[in-house]
Each structure stands twice: as structure tokens, then as C-alpha cells.
Structure 1
Amino acid sequence: MINVTIANFETEVIEASMQTPVLVDFWAPWCGPCKVIGPLLEKIEIDYAGRFKLVKIDSDQEQQLAQAFGIRSIPTCVLLMNGQPVDGFMGALPEGQIKEFLDKHLPAAEAVEAAAEEAAALDALADGDVEGALEKLQQAVQTDPNNDDARFDLVKLLLELDRDDDAKVAFAPVIAKAAGVRRLDSLNRWMTARDAQATVNDPQARAAELQAAITANKRDFDSRFALAQLLMAHSQFVPAMDELLEILMRDKAWSEDLARKTYIAILDIIEPPKPKVAEGQVPPEDPTVATYRRRLSSVVLS
């Protein structure tokens, strides 16, 4: 629990609510019900283990803040998320009603725990601890099976480690919805490319064969796409996008938009996790991803 004044309001309430919901308790020392609900809110904050942050504002001392929130009686509690008030209640409600109020808005405990595991996994990966990252991602998906971001990172890492069978097992629970979730669809396209090339005994010879067909006919889109699939399967993503661009420059809608969809899938796969930055700043974009996004836009919009 933090006592908030006009001096630290921006940091402790507005900025903090961008990451974690903030419950603001407006109170005053003379208020009897405030003395009842105050300790109860502190207990609930502990029980919820990081799902929200509790702050207190003395409405007598911080009248400017009380007026800004339109406080007419105390205790009044206001919940902020992403810098904006989303709901509130007045009076010293019992513990059960306060928890019902919070549960309407807060992410589930499983989701919070899984997100923390995912963040720890990405930190481990940045430090070169691949096995540690893998373990944390598996834990994140186990804790919250609906966390598609954690599942994407897990399946992607397994594929990068050439553990395709494990990747398919991890992907199986979401395969039915993959077509409607872009990043999951991107993984599915990568796995399909890898499966298609698994029986190719000599990838270099196959690439040379396809390149010869393309040289003979630059509009041999089937051969170009097969070459892109071969390159994608072996994680040669930039050359694969180059081949897909050649198709798009000649026929944007070829094969029901297959080239563009595969190109976007590769962008999803190669895009690194966004680093944490200060509030209001935009994380830097990977230069390769930025370049090939621009090239796609240039071709599609031309």
C-alpha cells in the first residue's frame, strides 16, 4: 500500500496502471468506515498477490485529486487500468463484495503467473539460457493454456531447436483456432513448410533444380513458392521472403494470396520479442523486419 500525493500521482497511479491495475482508496483520518475498509483492502491486496496495486489518497490533504475524481463521499475506491478509471464503489463493502468487484476487471491469477513466467523466459533467452527459457515457457503454457503469446514463443523455440515433434505436441491444443489467430497461423505455416521438406534428401540439389526452373521461366510461381518453402523450412528466412516478393511483384493475389500470407508468417517468426522501454517510448524495431515490412507495403500498395 502506497500513500499518494499530487507529487507522485503520475508515477504511482497513472504510469503504474499501464502495467498493473491500480485501486485508489480515497479516505480521511476522521472517517470511521475508512478505518474499517482500509485494513481489509490491504489484506485483499496481499491475497491477490500482484494482480492489482493498492494506493491511498487522503482526500482532505489532496483535495485537488479528490476533485479531479469527483469524490463526494468517503470511502470511495476507484480502479484504474491503462491510465483510465474503469469502475469504482463507495462505502465500506464487505470482503466478498470487494473481491467480486475486483474479479470483474482483473486478469485471472493464472494469467498473471503465466505472463510472469513468459517474461522470465524471454529474459533467460536473452541471457543465453535456452533450457531455462524452455522450462519457463512450458510452465507458462501449463499455467495458462489460453496464453497464445507464451505458446507462440514455446513452439517457436522448439522449432529452432529442431524439436519438431515436441513443437507439434505443444501446438496441438490450439490447432483448431490457428487459422483465426495470425501468429499461431504463422507457426502452422512454418511447421507445414518443414514437414513438406522433411523428405528432401539433398536440399541443395533441390534448390538448384528449382532455381533452374525459375531461370527458365520467371513466372513459374509454383517453383518460386516451392523454393521459398524450402528456404523457410531451413530457417533461411530472408532469401525466402525475396522469392515471395518476386511472386508478389508479378501477381499479388497468386494462389489465393498464398505468397503474401507466407511472407507475413515469416515476419512474425523472425520478429524478436519487444524489449521493455519507459512509458511513452516506442521500442526499436528490428532492422530486417522493418526493411521487409516496407518492401511488402511497397509491392502490395503499388
Structure 2
Amino acid sequence: MIPAPKPTAPAHGSGPLQGSEWIVEADASNFERGVLARSLTVPVLLDFWATWCGPCKTLGPELEKRAREGQGRFLLAKIDIDRNPELAQAFRVQAVPTVLAISEGRLVDGFQGALPASEIDAFLDRVAPSGALPSGTDAAVARARELAASGELEQAIGLLRELLRDAPAHNAARLVLAEILIDAKRPQDARLVLDKLEDDPASAEQVKSLRAKLDFAAAAGDRAELEATLRANPADLAARIQLAKALVAAKEYGPGLEHLLDVVRADAGAQRGEAKKTMLEVFAMLGLEDKLANEYRFKLSLELFS
């Protein structure tokens, strides 16, 4: 994933948002864990805006007010398109304001433009029914994500393990625990957690994705050495594939897929086959609705069938 540009201006012309854990500034660096992962337990609204956008100054405060009053009815993730063009592109945002709703990792609804208050409330009734407040355990999962996003991985792991002792059937918490264990470079522990989800059909796709992440992490070589090898010999396709795997393991999916696509373009033999196979594994890991995966699915098909 491409790192987000350094922030240069506050949201909606105001200072940094404070006073609510249910409003966050989202960028490429925190989107997967701080936004997308949280949609597993609470609906998330993505508010794409810009400092120069007049209607954004009307809609933004209305959404923020409802997020504060809702106290967990939904999470509002504010995304400045000028500072985060990669996110705007990934979600195909053509104009601002654009609001998209995500639930359980999937895009479920959205609208464009500054709606009147009554239509905002009707939209929220559809995507975040007021009776669907997070339980205490769901709130604990959200807190664990926040700890992990701030680098406090061990504290997050401890909180989730304590939660699962009291609520062993909370599979969303188990999935988050497995992901954090992967980030903490504790693959054996992560595999043990995922093993306990094998009989849960609802978690099957996410378990498959997390196992793929574990496999990429295990196969990743030394990134610095691989980059040096490629600088010395850009035609070393084996090293390019290994670097791609290391990038994917580090969640830099775009650069990793680009390296793999370069191999597909350059080779007609075994390395082309390995690069294609690896790309398909990344697509499966990211899921059918991932914008980046779909972009590279199309690029790969052009190379394979042209």
C-alpha cells in the first residue's frame, strides 16, 4: 500500500477532531486496521471530503454530530481526498462529498452530495440501525484494534485473550487476535488461533485470507538484500518474485503486484507461471471486492489473453 501524504490541513476547516472515539482521520497507513477491520463489529461511514468543497462544510458537521451522539452506532472515517488520492481512487470517488458505508468489510451503500438532515437520518437507518449498538465485547474488540493501530500490540493481544476467556464464541475477536499476532511476528500463535475457527463457515474467507498472509510472511526474504540484487541485475526475475512476496508480507500490495506483473510481461516460462500463481494468491487474500485486487486482475487478464 502506498503511504499516505503528510497531512497539511485539518478536516472540514476545523482543528483536529477530539471528544469522540467514533470519529477518525483515515489514511492509507491506518485504513486496513483502523477502518476496514473495525467494520467487522460496527458499521463504518467513509466521508470523502476536501478543504475547497463548500458542500463538505455542510455535510461534515452533520455526520460528526450524529457520530458523537450515536456513541457507537457507527464509526465515521474522514478522508481528505487531496491528502489521500490513493484511497479516493481505490473507491472510485468522482466528486465530493461522497459518503460510503461499509459493514463486515463490504461496501453496502453510499451517496454523493450534501443531503438534507432527514435524508441523512434515513440513510443511517438503513446502514446503521439505531438499535444496533456494539456490545461490551464488541467495544473491547474495537479498543484492541485501536491499541494495535498505535503500536501497542502486546496490550491488544492481552485484551483480546481476556475477552475470549469470557466469550470464547466471539469469532470476530478471534479473527482480530490472529491478525494482530501476525503483525506481532508470532505466526505459531496465529495459526493456533485460526485452527479454532476451522468449523465456522462464516469466518472461512477471512481465515483463508489470514492463512495466506501467514504463508507470505513465512516465505518473505530479506527485502534490503533483494532490492540490492535487483539494482545490480534488474533482469533477475527470481529475485523480483521474492521481493514481491516480501512486499506483500509487509502489506505493500500495490508495489508487490506490480513486480509480479512485470515478471508476467517479461517471461514466458516457469517464472511467468510462478508470478501468475502468486498474483492469484494475493487476489484471494485481498478478496473479491478489493479495488486494488480487481485492478490487477484486469491487468493480468490483459497480459494473459492479449
TM over 0.5: no
Q: Which has the larger radius of gyration?
A: 1
Greater relative contact order (CA < 8 Å, ≥ 6 in sequence): 2
Return the TM-score normalized by structure 1. Answer: 0.42
